[in-house]
Structure 1
């Protein structure tokens, strides 16, 4: 791993202050009040484990960039369980696994937040076909879950 600048420390904050600021942001966005703070929403489980999504609060939907940011934040703050739940949701509801689908191996950029997984939907439905490589990148540079 490389070394990265710590702008908080460069501006006179102690490491304890930096850690407290990061922990407070995590708690607010991932564990805060779902009605007013949190962007992280846990759902049921599937055969692969817990599911969770990062929701665009203004649009009340899920976006590929939000999911990728959520996974990157989970990686950088060492929250393996939350990463796994986000990756599981992304793979279940965003990834086109059907080899006959025109968007095979891509992720939907704005998947449905309810209903059946994307893999069980017919080709030609109104699910967006363009996807974000950021979602896959977040996974690949994290805990090697892309295998």
Structure 2
């Protein structure tokens, strides 16, 4: 069975959460969602599966045991240290002026943005849709 770890530094308006739920519901992929935080500075909270906090063995185990990482927007030091033989897909939601997108592009095996004209133009990448469960909306 393929193991996938979805990683996001921020909740990204729950886009990684929606992808996580859909993969769990509609595929046989063993998937984990790992966030650095589950809330924004303004206090908005979002659902999460695992948090990347000190001594969270479950989050590190999910990263270490995964065949593929789907990383959203930011490359973090934890990912650089943890990477072994995993393939990495990077997906960019924000605009290139935010974050360390160039480092993540260099780290990833494949790069995409979201299917939005502005992001596709700014990054010069193919867009992927944000996945949602049609039964929920």
Same fold by TM-score, threshold 0.5 exceeded? no
Larger strand proportion of the pair: 2
Larger helix proportion of the pair: 1
TM-score interval, normalised by the smaller of the two chains: under 0.3
* Structure whose CA Rg is larger: 1
TM-score using structure 1 length? 0.25
